[in-house]
Amino acid sequence: MGSTLFTNGLVWPGTSGAAFHEALAIEGSKIIAVGNDALSMKCDRVVDLKGAFVSPPFADGHAHPLFGGRQFFGPQITGLETIEEILAEIKRFADANPDQEWIIGGTYDPAIDPDGFFDAKLLDSVVADRPVVLNAMDYHTIWVNTEAMRRTGVDTFTGELEIGTVVRRPDGTAMGTLREWDAVNLIMSKAPLPSKAREIKALEYASKRYAADGVTWWLDAWVDRGMAEAYLAAEEAGVLLQGVNLAFRADPRSWQEDLPYFLERRKDIESAPKNRNLTAKTVKFFADGVIEGGTAALLEPYSNDPCSHGMPVWQWPEMTKAVVAMDKAGFQVHIHAIGDAGIRAALDALETAIKTNPAWDRRPTIVHVQLLDSVDLPRFTELGIIANFGPLWTRQDPMQAISSAPRIGPERADRQYLMRSLLDNKTRVAFGSDWPVTSEIPLEGIAVPVHRQTPDRKPEGGWMPHEAITIQEAFQAYTHEVAYQAFEDSSWGTLAPGFNADFIILDTNPFEIDPHDVPKINVLNTYRNGEAIYSR
Ligand SMILES: [Zn+2]
């Protein structure tokens, strides 16, 4: 394990406003010096960076990479803009995979139909003999064909669902669009799970993709039964290049029975002899759904439906009880909360856990934080809660403009993603891609909160420009602040002596170009523990 000097570069240590160094020296898996100290060292090897930019690596503080990997092996419908294109791809995939009993894929853009109604008959026109299940981009809605409903009994289902809706045609028959947990589960609980070999391949694919994106750590924020086992198998097979933390999903109906299972899997992972990369420190809650599906929990009714405040996933007192129990069991709590009522309930639950349980370094996280009531804004800092955002969402894309904004009206639409206000209030802001809901590539999303515009630069001046942040703050949120969320900020996320030799080399200094050009930057190398896990 020799030493290497990286010289003639722009080394950004990882804190907004920090001065650059020209050089970085590593030995084995650690950084041993930066700046002049590095330059004065006799290293075994010298790498001329030729002016390239060196940053702490990206870390994805909220994503679903196993779903992303699985999607790669299904029909490729992400980004398709019309029903016709989607149907053509489903037909192509079905013809190419005649032996696949269930065709499961994603993700389609629900904004293709402004009301979000997708009919099974459309899918039947290309595949009628076996089930087809497509996930919507938000992963809270599925679109299925008639055979999927027939095999699972949804076609004759007339019961009431606690959380979720079977969308019906005017004649009362199930349309083929199913929203939220109980409805989605009517189908998915009967769909076959992928084989272990396929799961390992899916994770290998996700890991390679992330390495090329400059990512060295991720949180899988939705781990259901069978998935921790898949991760452990992938780690044993040696395909994980990154550090990975798992967040078990707490289900409102089964969390009490599931807690011992979470504890067992955590123990398995912590004690697995060959495990170097996996942890299972976190439990994930869905407080509510999504605005575009009308399921985010709102304080005031939906603008397009004065009878609806959304669809909370939990009865709030039950969520509080579960959050207190998971926190007491030593799990970091990670709560999906999008509507202002969902966010308030998440804050209330965490506040109760903090007041009830003994003090510990808990680093709770609320993720998405889309529509935040101003009364609740200071509570993030007061309670020490991390706000994790998907940076790519801070623009008026079709999802926002067509599917979300009309549901909440102009006043509420113009107070979404209050990143500047939270940062000014000293809240820790971290980023996550939510892949495969949206692109996992950090450089694609990272500058969006800086300009808050679509790629064609709309609206002029940016959407809610007073909530824009700087490019350095954005980098800090996608690097150092995720290290903090991961409890690893004394190991990586900073380029300084004693830290792990985890860093990325970019071909352009992102701090000095038009933020719209940041997605064009290339990742040249990704280093983790002193080893290049990716080289362009
Ligand atoms: Zn998510």
Question: How confident is the model over 182-240, as pLDDT tens digits?
Answer: 999 999 999 998 899 999 999 999 999 999 999 999 999 999 999 999 999 999 999 99
Average pLDDT of the residues of the chain:
96
CA distance 290 to 342: 10
How is the beta sheet containing 45-48 ordered, strand by strand?
A: 30-34, 24-27, 3-7, 45-48
61 CA to centre of ligand 1 in angstroms: 10
DSSP state of 401: I
Same domain, 184 and 200: no
Same domain, 213 and 180: no
Percentage above 90 pLDDT, the chain: 90
**Of the given ranges (160-169, 356-365, 423-432), which has the lowest mean pLDDT?**
160-169
The confidence score (pLDDT) of residue 406 equals 92
CA distance 403 to 167: 17
One DSSP character per residue, 207-246 reads HHHHHHHTEEEEEEEEE-TTHHHHHHHHHHTT---SEEEE
CA distance 15 to 493: 9
86 CA to centre of ligand 1 in angstroms: 23
Same domain, 298 and 178: no
**pLDDT band, residue 162 (cuts 50/70/90):** confident
CB 458 within 8 A of CB 396: yes
Q: Which of 257, 130, 102, 108 is nearest to 193 (CA)?
A: 102
Measured torsion, CA atoms of residues 264, 267, 268, 272, in degrees rounded to the nearest 10: 180
- By residue range, what is the domain housing residue 91? 66-188
245 CA to centre of ligand 1 in angstroms: 14
Which of 188, 205, 232 lies at the terminal end of a domain, its last residue? 188
**pLDDT band, residue 344 (cuts 50/70/90):** very high
pTM: 0.93
Same domain, 311 and 347: yes
**pLDDT band, residue 181 (cuts 50/70/90):** confident
Task: Establish if 61 belongs to a structural domain.
Answer: no
The per-residue pLDDT for range 487-524, each reduced to its tens digit, is 999 999 999 999 999 999 999 999 999 999 999 999 99
Which of 158, 188, 218 lies at the terminal end of a domain, its last residue? 188
The confidence score (pLDDT) of residue 508 equals 97
434 CA to centre of ligand 1 in angstroms: 5
Same domain, 205 and 180: no
Would the pLDDT of 311 be above 80?
A: yes
Would the pLDDT of 1 be above 80?
A: no
Same domain, 358 and 285: yes
The confidence score (pLDDT) of residue 5 equals 98
**pLDDT band, residue 80 (cuts 50/70/90):** very high
Same domain, 87 and 178: yes
Which of 136, 167, 188 lies at the terminal end of a domain, its last residue? 188
CB 52 within 8 A of CB 524: yes
Q: Number of folded domains in the chain?
A: 2
6 CA to centre of ligand 1 in angstroms: 37
Tokens of 488: 């690893």
534 CA to centre of ligand 1 in angstroms: 26
Same domain, 337 and 392: yes
| Arithmetic mean of pLDDT, 367-394 | 98
Residue 94's CATH number? 3.10.310.70
110 CA to centre of ligand 1 in angstroms: 16
203 CA to centre of ligand 1 in angstroms: 17
Residue 454's CATH number? 3.20.20.140
62 CA to centre of ligand 1 in angstroms: 6
The confidence score (pLDDT) of residue 332 equals 98
Same domain, 307 and 158: no
The confidence score (pLDDT) of residue 402 equals 84
367 CA to centre of ligand 1 in angstroms: 8
8 CA to centre of ligand 1 in angstroms: 39
11 CA to centre of ligand 1 in angstroms: 32
